[in-house]
Amino acid sequence: MAKDLLQKKKTKDIKIYCDITKCVGCKSCELACAVEHSQTKNIFTALREKTLPKKRVRAENVSSKIISLHCQHCEDAPCIKACMSGALSKDEKTGATLHDKDKCVGCWMCVMVCPFGAIVRDVENHIAVKCDLCPDREDFACVVACPTGALFVGTKEEFEKKIKQKKKG
Amino acid sequence: MSEKHIERSYDAASQKMIKKADEENIKIAWDRYDAMQPQCGFGELGLCCKVCNMGPCRIDPFGEGPQEGVCGATKDTIAARNLARMIASGAAAHSDHGRDIAHALILAAKGEAHDYHLKDTEKLKRIAEIYGIDTQGKSIEKIGEELGESCLSEFGRQHGELRMASRAPAKRQALWRKLGITPRGIDREVVEIMHRTTMGVDNDYKNIINHGMRAALADGWGGSMIATELSDILFGSPKPIRATVNLGVLKEDQVNIVVHGHEPTLSDVVREAAKDAELLELAKKYGAKGINIAGMCCTANEILMRHGIPSAGNFLQQELAILTGSVELMMVDVQCIMPALSGVANCFHTKLVTTSPKCKFPGVEHMEFKEEKALEIAKDIIRKGVENYKNRVKERVDIPGEIKGLVAGFTTENIFHILGGRYRATFRPLNDAIISGRLRGAAGVVGCNNPNIRHDWAHISMVKELIKHNVLVVQTGCSAIACAKEGLLTPESAFEYAGAGLQEICEAVGIPPVLHVGSCVDNSRILLILSEAIKEGGLGEDLSDLPVAGAAPEWMSEKAIAIGFYFVASGVYTVFGTPHPVLGSENLTNYITNELENVVGGKFAFEADPIRAAQMMIKHIDKKREALKLPPLMYEREPVRMSNNG
Amino acid sequence: MSMDYVIVGGSAAGVTCAQTLRKHDKKSNITVISDEVFPLYSRCLLTYLLAGSIEEDKLYFKDKNFYKDNNIKLYLCKRAVSIDRKQKKVSLKDKTKVSYDKLMLATGASPKLVDVPGIDKKGVFTVRKIDDARSIMKMLDRVKKIAVLGGGLIGLRDAYALSQRQKEVTVVVKSPQVLSQMVDMQAARIIASVLEKNGIKIMTGVAAGEITGKEFVEGILLDNGGKLQCQMVIIGKGVKANTELASSCGLKVEEGIVVDEFLRTSDENIFAAGDCAQTYDIAREANRINALWPCAVEQGEIAALNMLGKKIAYDGSLSMNSVDFFGLACISMGITRPKKEEDYEIISQAKGDVYKKFILKENRIVGMVLVGDIKAAGIISALIRNKIDVSSIKHLLLEDTFNYAKIMPLVRKFQERFKQEEYKDTVITY
């Protein structure tokens, strides 16, 4: 599993998908995301940090099911167009939508245009935050933390293939 | 613009206050429930175990992740342990309540608590006999003291059988003995659950549940029954009485004092204290016409049953009462008291006061209630409320006008008299009604409220469906209040809602089609009613033969689980609205909803739709009628059609 | 075939156009003509510069070496003065002529001025270009009190920025409320009270009659007879499109340069985008200028694609704004102040400092105002943009818990109407 995820880091056009038939709303993804984006990256000490870390993923009810929602790293990202400081940009190699917190001024234009509500305000630090595909680790915090395997990281084709296989089997 | 308040509650008074809370931006239970969504599936399925430090463990319900905890516990074990602990908690709550009443009885008998008296001396003697206390030539006080001590010793008993269990039909007692689940001692069974469910002990789910049943029986035929019977002795056995319910019982021109919680040792004395001339003078001095005592939750049921004191509402209305802006003081003792009350009270002039050392709130005034000084302390608390009347802000007072009358006060004993008429105390007419087919059977609809189902709607819909099909309904707790608010607990409602057979009975005897038998510990009365019906004859020999069923359509508390289990263990088919947290284990679910019927003659069913649930109960009752070879119903030729999926 | 692409204007629309052209065409010549002294800076960040929150090096919205890395020729500090459409040449002020095959006009807009005496005194500024910001900052030491004329977005942003420099700021607004074009009275009150609580004075119902002083500003005479002492005046009265270049060469011009859905002007080889262009407004279903950064960027991109011959139609722009004053965030979009309220369905709620308002027409959201709680903004923007029928979720709009998952049933049902591919990704398992 670890090797797979490491490989994914170099793949183009990957993002996090959620199989809603397997999400039970335990919010382990939210916890893991926050811890990963904390200073100390440890759940016990992360709680004591001066500004609490922000999660970039949310488990929400959709009809009678639950979905864990992430930034979709859109190909034609509205947030990049709206960003007036150049903080948001596209990584040409991986296709990921990157956010540079040093350039961010907290104008919330990206929050205003993200169709998925995936960008949240970090009010204490006055910057926007969103899924960054965990650049500081070899895998992806939420995917690793998901206890039911609802979260998948990969390309759309890979995810659709996985779902098809599941239906067959 | 938003219809949220209508979605959240069926009750118009509650709707008004929910709307008010929304307008004033005061968060109440429903808001917190919404914010909690989605709720964790591991918890809902019973697949989360936090018993030891090798955990916390989760079993993957989809089969791909871990299927065992670190210790090797399977989902069956984990779910069963969790469920058993809920029984322990619920049983402990009821039993502690019983313990407190027994303690009060002793103090009263010894003359150490002058404000309590041995009111029902007849019942005192009867119950004393069950404990083998010789009543000949003894003073009432001596009998009372001995009875109290005997009851207290039931809590610490290690061997033998709880005395009250001997009131069950012989066949039922024999079954318990055969299964090894006759309760030995009230505290012992609860302690043993905690032992069995800690790390490294019982991991056979059936074994765990069987002991769970034992602990539940130690509640129903133990702690709760002691609470009920001794409360009748101390405070008087209820008699049919008229009363009123809902937020409309709060008065604009009086000092409103709400007593919330469970133990009548507090509420009964408060009721008495409120009559104090000095306090009434004080109230008048502040411009109030009087002092209005209203209850909430089970303590309301206790004083409603015995004295006709009005109930301001049930579990989900506790914050709403404060929201009327008309409550000077809310005093609480134990159980079902939301921690949120202090926050809501702070938005108004309402003073919140805790009275039990077992239930404190940070930053909230504690006026500890002691039986030895009961009336004095009660007066002090009331005085605080009266003094607070001047702080009431007229502009914020919004008492909804909804108020309904009901007839409450039915007990095992007085049903005898009612049914038999003035001269005969007997269950015969009830049995005959069932045997003849005028009545289909009986059902107990009990339990709490929960924001996960529209407030009061499930109780009311279920009860209406049952009485429509000639099932006599007995109720306790918040469920009774829900239906009372709809007017179902009046003799008149029989004409509007009851089937022809039930209507005839109600008309003949003058009872409502829905009988309020009391608070949640008074579910023990239902056990005795069922036992009397067996004793009377013609309806089988064991409780499981009876054409009866039970339901808790809006359950919330662990106490409901304990009650459910003592009914099932006593042979009664019991339907819960939302399921127990067991669905993650197919085996456990199957055991309690299926196999248990072969073990104890009773089982659980889970059905959130109250009409479907009622139909399941009716189907079950019909099945029992058939097994008893009873003639068809007088007024229904066809069996009930199940909706959709039968 | 190698083309000559020329772009007049080097801000959001111009740079995005250039970038897009280079992305698709590695060979052709791309030239950007900018009359500014500083390249590649985001003028939206100027208020942050004024406030002292950032330094000049943070003003870049593209990498400093953008022009070099993309092989784009930049004429900096050069002004285009005329266009010869027959010869297809643009003339600069210094007499240089630049030939084009396709031309893009991204001339932007200039601040509106007020017609009051004294406007030429030293200490009167508009904030549009970096020169303005630099001049203001140079003068700040000598200034204690500042008057900002105009209670719109620009005026309030300028006021907010200067209050961060510990200056006494007074905003002078003719309307009875601030942000009269953007939000309604209720939201405006919440915002005004936050500003006032933090020391910014707001005077409504008055305008400046005269700017007084000798060489330097000393104060303002108000039209109600009142006086205001100040050493600096900022005019924040909105912007007017720079259309002279277009009109002087005969292109169709109304409030802005008139373009079709391919952002083409009345000359098939000349395109326009950004604050100078008049485009289709999705919510209002009419043509207007939405002088906003995100609109300029997307128009610059679409113009480029059409210059490349790809024939991509522009769906249209939405008016949208986001402000944050002292932690109170406010977002507005689309039609927020309908002229005839009876023609629309209004769903709104005010709870303390949180205000939400949705304006619907025939069950489609055409406008929104969010104050305090803005997390739903992006989701609503998609519903506005894609003109989705929201009748089944109307009752959820005001909830604290409103989020993307709540509209997934609509996404699943109306998949064709939601334009982005990524919507489909979210409903693969739904």
- Given this model, what pLDDT does residue B422 score? 60
Chains sharing 3 or more CB pairs under 8 A with chain A: B, C
3-class state of residue B540 by DSSP: coil
Kind of pairing between the strands at B327-332 and A151-154? unpaired
Residues of C with CB under 8 A from a CB of B: 347, 349, 351-352, 395, 398-401
The CATH classification number of C4-110+241-307 equals 3.50.50.60
* Residue pair C358/C367 in contact by the 8 Å Cβ criterion: yes
Q: Rounded distance, CA C108 to CA C92, Å?
A: 17
| Nearest CA-CA partner of B348 in B14, B20, B19 | B20
Tell me which chain C residues have a C-beta less than 8 angstroms from the C-beta of B28: none
Which residues of C are less than 8 Å from B34 in CB distance?
399-401
Q: At what angle do helices B205-218 and B558-569 cross, to 10 degrees?
A: 90
Measured between beta carbons, which residues in chain C are less than 8 angstroms from residue B3? 395
Q: Is B362 exposed, middle or buried (0-12, 13-18, 19+ CB in 10 A)?
A: exposed
Residues in C touching B26 (Cβ below 8 Å)? none
Selection from A76, A71, A128 nearest residue A100 by Cα: A128
CATH fold label, B404-627: Rossmann fold (3.40.50)
Residue C209: is its pLDDT beyond 70? Answer: yes
Same fold, C4-110+241-307 and C124-237: yes
Best mutation target among A60, A67, A148, A165 (most B Cβ atoms within 10 Å) is A148
What is the residue extent of each domain of chain C? 4-110+241-307, 124-237, 327-426
CATH class (in words) of the domain with range A74-130: alpha beta
Q: How far is A154 from chain C (nearest CA, A)?
A: 12
This prediction has a pTM of 0.87
A93 compared with B394, residue with greater pLDDT: B394
**Residues B471, B439: contact at Cβ < 8 Å?**
yes
May I ask the CATH class of domain C124-237? alpha beta
Q: How far is C381 from chain B (nearest CA, A)?
A: 22
Nearest CB neighbour to A59, from listed B38, B62, B66? B38
Cβ A115–C423 below 8 Å, yes or no? yes
Top residue of A70, A74, A85 to mutate, by most chain C CBs within 10 Å, is A85
Mutate to test the interface with C, among A69, A71, A111 (most CBs of C within 10 A): A111
Chain A residues touching C15 at Cβ < 8 A: none
Q: Each residue of C370-387: pLDDT tens digit?
A: 999 999 999 999 999 999
Contacts of C426 in chain A (CB under 8 A): 67, 69, 72, 116
A155 Cα to chain C: minimum distance (Å): 10
Whether residue C36 contacts residue C130, with contact meaning beta carbons closer than 8 Å, is answered with yes
Residues B239 and B437: their CA atoms lie apart, in Å, by 28
SS3 track for chain C: CCCEEEEECCCHHHHHHHHHHHHHCCCCEEEEEECCCCCCECHHHHHHHHHCCCCHHHCECCCCCHHHHCCCEEEECCCEEEEECCCCEEEECCCCEEECCEEEECCCEEECCCCCCCCCCECEECCCCHHHHHHHHHHHHHCCEEEEECCCHHHHHHHHHHHCCCCEEEEEECCCCCCCCCCCHHHHHHHHHHHHHCCCEEEECCCEEEEEECCEEEEEEECCCCEEECCEEEECCCEEECCHHHHHCCCCECCCEECCCCCECCCCCEEECHHHEEEEECCCCEEECCCCHHHHHHHHHHHHHHHCCCCCCCCCECCEEEEEECCEEEEEEECCCCCCHHHCEEEEEEECCEEEEEEEECCEEEEEEEECCCCCHHHHHHHHHCCCECCCCHHHCCCCCCCHHHHHHHHHHCHHHCCCCHHHHHCCCC
- How many A×C Cβ pairs under 8 Å? 141
For residue A1, the model assigns a pLDDT of 61
C421 touches A: beta carbon within 8 Å: yes
Interface contact B40-A24, CB threshold 8 A: yes
Give per-residue pLDDT as tens, C295-317.
999 999 999 999 999 999 999 99
Kindly list the distances between the CA atom of residue B495 and the CA atoms of B488, B566, B633, B637, in Å, as whole numbers in the listed order: 10, 34, 19, 20
Q: CB distance B40–A25 less than 8 Å?
A: yes
Residue B320 · residue B18 · CB < 8 Å? yes
Across the interface, whether the CB atoms of B1 and C352 are under 8 A apart is answered: no
- Neighbors of chain C with 3 or more C-beta pairs under 8 Å: A, B
Element (H, E) at B170: helix B170-179
The verdict on B37 touching C (C-beta cutoff 8 Å) is yes
Test mutation, A55, A81, A146, chain C, max C CBs within 10 A: A81
- Note the pLDDT tens digit of each residue in C95-134: 999 999 999 999 999 999 989 999 999 999 999 999 999 9
Could you give the CA distance from residue A159 to residue B556 in angstroms, rounded to a whole number? 40
Which pLDDT score is estimated for A45?
Answer: 87
Q: Does C376 touch chain A (CB under 8 A)?
A: yes
Q: How far apart are CA C426 and CA C430, in angstroms?
A: 8
What is the overall mean pLDDT for chain C? Answer: 94
CATH architecture of A1-70+133-158: 2-Layer Sandwich (3.30)
Q: What pLDDT is recorded for position B645?
A: 44
Token output for C163: 């209050």
Residue-wise pLDDT tens digits, C76-97: 999 999 999 999 999 999 999 9
> What chain A residue is nearest to B584 in terms of C-alpha separation?
A24
Closest CA to C108 of C302, C291, C303, C258: C291
Please say whether the beta carbons of B554 and B479 come within 8 A: yes
What local confidence, expressed as pLDDT, does residue B646 receive?
Answer: 39
Residues 39-78 of C with CB under 8 A from A: 42, 44-45, 48, 53-54, 58, 60-62
pLDDT confidence of residue A36:
94
Q: How close is the nearest chain C Cα to the Cα of B50, in Å? A: 29
Neighbours of C252 (CB within 10 A): 13
How far apart are the CA of A81 and the nearest CA of chain B, in angstroms?
33
Residues of chain B with pLDDT under 50: 1, 643-646
What distance in Å separates residue A107's CA from the closest CA in chain C? 7
Q: B75-235 domain in CATH 3.50.50.60?
A: no
pLDDT bin (cut points 50, 70, 90) of residue A167 is confident
* Architecture of the CATH domain B247-396: 3-Layer(aba) Sandwich (3.40)
Asked if domains A1-70+133-158 and A74-130 share a fold, the reply is yes
Angle, CA of C282, C288 and C289, to the nearest 5°:
105
Chain A contact present for B469, CB below 8 A? no
pLDDT of A51: 87
Report CB contact under 8 Å: A148, B64.
yes
* Chain C CA closest to residue B21: C351
Report how far residue B76's alpha carbon sits from residue B588's, in angstroms, rounded to the nearest whole number.
Answer: 6
Q: Given an 8 Å threshold on Cβ–Cβ distance, is C398 in contact with B2?
A: yes
CB-based contacts of C260, cutoff 8 Å, min separation 6: none
Of residues A76, A85, A112, nearest to C378 (C-beta): A112
CATH 3.40.50.620 fits C327-426, yes or no: no
B7: closest chain C residue by CA:
C395
Beta bridge partners of C367: C334, C359
Judge: C422–A112 Cβ closer than 8 Å, yes or no. Answer: no
| Residues C167-192: tens digit of each pLDDT | 999 999 999 999 998 888 888 999 99
Q: Domain ranges for chain A, please list them.
A: 1-70+133-158, 74-130
Average pLDDT on C347-359 reads 92
pLDDT digits (tens, 9 = 90+) for C55-67: 999 999 999 999 9
A24/B37 CB distance under 8 A: no
Six token digits for residue B565: 């289990």
User: Which residues of chain A have a CB within 8 Å of the CB of B39?
Assistant: 25
Cis-peptide into B240, omega within 30 deg: no
Asked if B277 has any chain C CB less than 8 Å from its own CB, the reply is no
Nearest CB to B25: which of C352, C398, C399? C352
Contact C395 B2 (CB under 8 A): yes
3-state secondary structure chain A: CHHHHHHHCCCCCCEEEECCCCCCCCCHHHHHHHHHCCCCCCHHHHCCCCCCCCCCCEEEEECCEEEEECCCCCCCCHHHHHCCCCCEEECCCCCCEEECCCCCCCCCHHHHHCCCCCCEEECCCCEEECCCCCCCCCCCHHHHHCCCCCEEEECHHHHHHHHHHHHHC
Q: How far apart are CA C374 and CA C305, in angstroms?
A: 33
Nearest one of C33, C43, C3, C46 to C107, comparing CA atoms: C33
Distance CA B535, CA B547 (A): 15
CATH 3.40.50.2030 residue ranges in chain B?
Answer: 247-396, 404-627
- Residue B644: the pLDDT is 45
User: Is B38 in CB contact (< 8 Å) with chain C?
Assistant: no
Closest by alpha carbon to B217, among B541, B559, B565, B468?
B565
**What is the DSSP secondary-structure string of B291-312?**
EEEEEEHHHHHHHHHHH---EE
Q: How far apart (Å, rounded) are the C-alpha atoms in residues A22 and C429?
A: 10
Structure tokens at B634: 């007088």
B40: distance to nearest CA of chain A, Å?
Answer: 4
